[in-house]
Amino acid sequence: MVSDQTTNPRPDEQRIVLTGVGLTAPNGNNLQEYRANLLSAVSGVQDYSIRYVGETHAGICDFDAQLYQSAREIRRGTRAGSIAIYCANQAVADSGHELDQLDRSRIGIYLGITEHGNVETENEIHELSGYDYDVAFWSHFHNPRTVANSPAGEVALSLGIVGPHYTIGAACAAGNAGIIQGAQMLLLGECDLALAGGVSESIHTFGIFASFKSQGALASHDDPTQASRPFDIDRNGIVVSEGGCIYVMERLSSARQRNATIYGELVGHAINTDASDFVLPNPERQQECIELALKRAGLTPSEMGVVSTHATGTTSGDIQECLALRRAFAGAEEVYFNNAKSLIGHAMGAAGALEIAGNLLTFSDGMCHPTINIDQLDPECEIAGLVVNEARQIGQIDYLLNNSFGMLGINSAVIIGRV
């Protein structure tokens, strides 16, 4: 997986690489399992019932939280915290670092999240209703559970990290934003190791389901594994999922010094804003975001190998993104496009980080995982190079790009390169 990239003009101290991956997704609890299920078109979406909304579908993770937490710690903390603690511990183990040999004041934690605190607040109000809303029975854990720096703070407590920690609220662009923040802090010298990515506990709040349902944007299908169907003519909305993906990020000089496995390098990124609507995407701003990331990476569209699309399965959102993609990659005939949400649903704040992970091993095996559930492609979503329903051998690639967009018009693009 590791090769010498002698043409990169930047010194190793200014190149930021991924050396550890920890994740839980609805169809896998580590990178290898997740990747195998993506390639085999194994969906992680299942039937789900939630208070007040009733029967729906969701992507549900099945990791062992007690690997790194006691039952008491799980009760006291949050679901997002448990996801983050699991992913962070797995990422550190995967990186080969021994925390006891590191200066923990030089480790930073930067986690993207869509929303936080809704799960705990909804559950506590529901429990309080059984006591006629007598606040004497209100949980004294409420405040630490709902502050904005959780779940990053829960990871710090779990691992004994005393460097900076915080979360980045960036809607469904948050996974990308966490990675970008980690790289920036490394480049600024604020830390020597970053735990960065995104997490989501969204399926445990009824509000998100109820809101999407009221918009007519909550997916439904007789077969839950076919409910998430971006680009298909019969798509009818979003499948809400939970999950997390955290990377160990460090300078290339550090990684080479310890002969680490290097999954890839962050070579370009961009974040911009539509400033045009609360929820309706703006394809011009999305196109500009992609093009800015390419410009910062010093790459042309034709040099990209795989583009991981954001597409969530909503009628308008998929069409708007495809318009942006056709413009940004016009004439780039050897670029492949795929979509992980068709297999795991929309993991909100974790989506971008998980989608990058889903394509990372293409650098070593040359396989592109598919977008599933496309029985009839919407003509307005046609993109040359879209990998449909079955994985495809595409050979060696040098770069992959992930799109992640979110409400209030936030757009992000991250480019990872082979090292």
**Residues designated as active site:** 172, 310, 346
| Cα–Cα distance, 179 to 167 (Å, whole number) | 11
Strands 264-273 and 16-24, bridge-based pairing = antiparallel
| Cα–Cα distance, 98 to 201 (Å, whole number) | 29
The DSSP result for 106-161, as a single string, is GEEEEEEES--SHHHHHHHHHHHHTTTT-GGGS-TTHHHHHSTTTTHHHHHHHHT-
What backbone torsions phi and psi does residue 55 show, to the nearest 5 degrees?
-80, 135
- Residue 55 identity (one-letter amino acid): E
Q: Which residues pair with 417 in a beta bridge?
A: 265, 399
Surface-to-core class of residue 289, CB atoms within 10 Å of its CB (0-12 exposed, 13-18 middle, 19+ buried): buried
What backbone torsions phi and psi does residue 82 show, to the nearest 5 degrees?
-65, -40
Dihedral sign from CA coordinates of 364, 307, 413, 239: negative
Q: How far apart are the first and last CA of the chain?
A: 8
